[in-house]
Amino acid sequence: MFRANIKRSFPSLTGASIAALVLFLASSVAAQAPAQNPSNQPAAAPPPSQQQQQQQGQAPSSENDGVYVFRKQVEEVQLHATVLDDKHRMVTDLAKQDFSVYENGQPQQITSFDRRDIPVSIGIVIDNSGSMRDKRPAVNQAAINLVKASNPKDEVFIVNFNDEYYLDQDFTANLTQLKEGLEKIDSRGGTALYDAVVASADHLDKNAKLDKKVLLVVTDGEDNASRESLEQAIRRLQKENGPTVYTIGLLGEERQKRARRALTALAENTGGISYFPKDLSEVDSITREVAHDIRNQYIIGYKPSNGKQDTGYRTVRVEARAPGHGKLSVRTKTGYYSGQERASAAGGQ
C-alpha cells in the first residue's frame, strides 16, 4: 500500500528491485504462516491451566517466539471494550457474567473473555502538512511517551502524511528507530487524512503480528486532499478485526466544526476516543491516557447466532452491570462488516 512512496526511503531501488523485494517478503511471510490441519482432526487437549481458563469463558493465550497469541475461536467476533462508571472512572474488575453482547439487537452468547495487558500492534499517523511545522516537536515527544507508557512487547509503525502518506518506520519496538521515523519532517502540502488512515489500517491488517490493533491519529486540520471520503474510511476501518482509532485534533476555530466531526466519527465508530486539546502542552498527557486505556480493556468474544455467511453491516452493543458499581458505560466498536475481509481481497485482485 505504501509502495508509491517507498523510494523516499530507498531512492536507489529500481522498479525491478522493488518487485523482487515484495515477492521475497511475500514468500517469507508464507513460509512463517502456521501450517493448516489437513486431517481436520481435533487438536490435543490443552494443559489444565488452559482448560480452567476455558471453563471460565476465557480464550487461552501464550507466546510463540516472543509474539503474544490470543487464541480466538473460529468464526468468533472479538471486541475490545473499556468500561467506565458514572464518574468516568475506569472499571477493571468485572467478570464474564457482568457483560451482555447484542448484535443487530439480538443477544449473543459470550464464548471467550479476558482482561489483561496484552501487546498491541500500533500505527502512529501524524499530520505533516505545513501548518504542523511548529507543532511537530511536542507531538513527536508525546508519541514517544505513548510508546514508553505502553506494553514493552508492542510493535509500532510511523506514518507521516501531508497530501501523500509515507511509511517512515515499519513495525518495531526500538525507540531510536521510532524517533528517527517521527523526525522525518517535511511540513508542506495539504492534508490527506482519510487516505493515510485507510492505508495505515491496511498495513495493520496485512502485516501486524498481533491480534489487537490500534491507530493513533494526530492532525491540526480538515482533510483537503484525500481520494477516500470520510464514509469510505470508516467502512474500511470497520472490518471484523479492524483497529481501534484514537484521534487528537489540534484545531483552530475557523475549521473546527467539520474537522471535529470527522475525527469524532473515526474514533467513536471503532471504539476509540477523540481528543481536542485547547493547548499543545496537553498532548503529552493525552497520549499517556491513550496508553492507559489500551492496557485496561476487556477482550470479549462471541460467535454470531445467525452465522457470518453474509457480508452485510452488523451493529454491536455491549452492556455491563455489576453489584456495587452503579451505572456503567461500555465503549467498543459500534459494528462491523461481516465478510468484508474476503470481499476486499476479492476486489483487490
Q: For residue range 116-135, list pLDDT tens digits in order.
A: 999 999 999 999 999 999 99
Residues 290 and 143 in one domain: yes
| Residue-range definition of the domain harbouring residue 109 | 73-116+307-347
pTM: 0.79
Strand duo 155-161 + 121-127: pairing: parallel
Residues 155 and 272 in one domain: yes
Task: Retrieve residue 206's grid coordinates.
Answer: 496485512
First to last CA, the chain: 14
Residues 324 and 211 in one domain: no
Query: Above pLDDT 90, what percent of the chain?
Result: 68
> What's the rounded mean pLDDT across residues 180-207?
94
Q: What is the mean pLDDT of the chain?
A: 82
Residues 259 and 313 in one domain: no
pLDDT at site 349: 33
Residues 270 and 204 in one domain: yes
pLDDT at site 256: 80
Please determine, for residue 13, whether its predicted confidence score (pLDDT) is greater than 70: no
Return d(Cα 31, Cα 52) in angstroms, integer: 33
Q: Could you give the dihedral angle defined by the CA atoms of residues 255, 261, 265 and 267, in that order, rounded to the nearest 10 degrees?
A: 60
Residues 90 and 125 in one domain: no
Kindly report the CATH number assigned to the domain that includes residue 210: 3.40.50.410
Please determine, for residue 14, whether its predicted confidence score (pLDDT) is greater than 80: no
Residues 224 and 83 in one domain: no
pLDDT at site 240: 87
Could you report the per-residue pLDDT of 61-74, keeping only the tens digit for each? 445 555 444 445 55
> What's the rounded mean pLDDT across residues 324-331?
96
Residue 7 resides in a domain? no
Residue 290 resides in a domain? yes
Cα 199 to Cα 8, 179, 214: the distances in Å are 17, 21, 13
Cα 162 to Cα 22, 60, 123: the distances in Å are 25, 42, 16
Could you report the per-residue pLDDT of 121-179, keeping only the tens digit for each? 999 999 999 999 999 999 999 999 999 999 999 999 999 999 999 999 999 999 999 99
Residues 86 and 203 in one domain: no
Residues 242 and 314 in one domain: no
pLDDT at site 18: 41
